[in-house]
Amino acid sequence: MEFVILIFLFLFTVTLHEVAHGYVAFLFGDSTAREQGRLTLNPLRHIDFFWTLLLPFILIKMGLPAIGMAKPVPVDFSNLHRPKRDMIWVALAGPVSNILFAWLLALLFILSRQWFLLVAIYFNLGLAVFNLIPIPPLDGARVLTGLLPIRLAREYVKLERFGFLIILALVWLGFAWKVIVPLINLLCALLGVPGIRFE
């Protein structure tokens, strides 16, 4: 039963992340996600075979923290009221939603001490931190694109064609965890829950 609950929390986590992006985009003028039926907490509308299912499985088999994500919600940045500024808020919506959910889970963990809640906290914080890495097309890259001068932003987004290869290489080689895990533990300390420990 605990494992089933953990799977549910995992699916809710990645779904919440994407719905947050789509909802904030809608607030700032883009209804693409809403028109495509993606502003729903039904995880079946957001599951991606590789990012939601296969990648977490591979990472667990490697003995690494499981990171996964849902199918990205479609956002047409040209529909936003002020595209360059508003893309920052759209990008931040996903990680912020996961940090807030982790805070709620931390309160429940402190009250119940259930191990699966702690795992769910790690996953939410990991997803938030991972997505803030400034490599296109991750959320951190969207934030940086919105902050850069237009000329530099145009050059920067050209990296997106190689983005997933760079991300997979960093994850596979373990370099990403040298940054992600310490940040997860810092956030855990702020939430008052134990951090990740490797035996």
Q: Does residue 39 form part of some domain?
A: yes
- 6 confidence band (pLDDT: 50, 70, 90): confident
| Residue 134: cis peptide before it, omega within 30 degrees of 0 | no
Q: Does residue 58 form part of some domain?
A: no
pLDDT for the residue numbered 66: 64
- CA pair distance 181, 178, nearest whole angstrom: 6
56 touches 66 (CB < 8 A): yes
Number of independent structural domains in the chain: 1
pLDDT for the residue numbered 80: 97
Taking the alpha carbons at both ends of the chain, their separation in whole angstroms is 26
- 44 confidence band (pLDDT: 50, 70, 90): confident
Task: Specify the DSSP class assigned to residue 138.
Answer: S
Q: Does residue 61 form part of some domain?
A: no
Q: Does residue 161 form part of some domain?
A: yes
- CA pair distance 106, 89, nearest whole angstrom: 25
- CA pair distance 146, 153, nearest whole angstrom: 7
- 199 confidence band (pLDDT: 50, 70, 90): low
Residue 162 belongs to domain spanning: 2-46+74-191
33 touches 21 (CB < 8 A): yes
44 touches 87 (CB < 8 A): no
Taking the mean position of all CA atoms in its chain, how far away is CA 4? 21
Overall average pLDDT of the 17-31 stretch: 97
Q: Does residue 55 form part of some domain?
A: no
91 touches 143 (CB < 8 A): yes
pLDDT top residue among 111 and 55: 111
CB atoms inside a 10 Å sphere around CB 136: 20
Separate counts of helices (H) and strands (E) for the chain:
9, 0
**Active-site residue identified among 18, 35, 160, 199:** 18
Q: Does residue 65 form part of some domain?
A: no
Count of residues making up the chain = 199
- CA pair distance 51, 70, nearest whole angstrom: 6
Residue pLDDT, tens place only, 134-164: 999 899 999 999 999 999 999 999 988 888 8
CB atoms inside a 10 Å sphere around CB 191: 19
- DSSP helix/strand/coil, 70: coil
HSE-up of residue 69 (Cα within 13 Å, Cβ side): 22
Q: Does residue 135 form part of some domain?
A: yes
Q: Does residue 63 form part of some domain?
A: no
Residue 18 annotated to the active site: yes
Radius of gyration over every alpha carbon of the chain, rounded to an integer in angstroms: 17
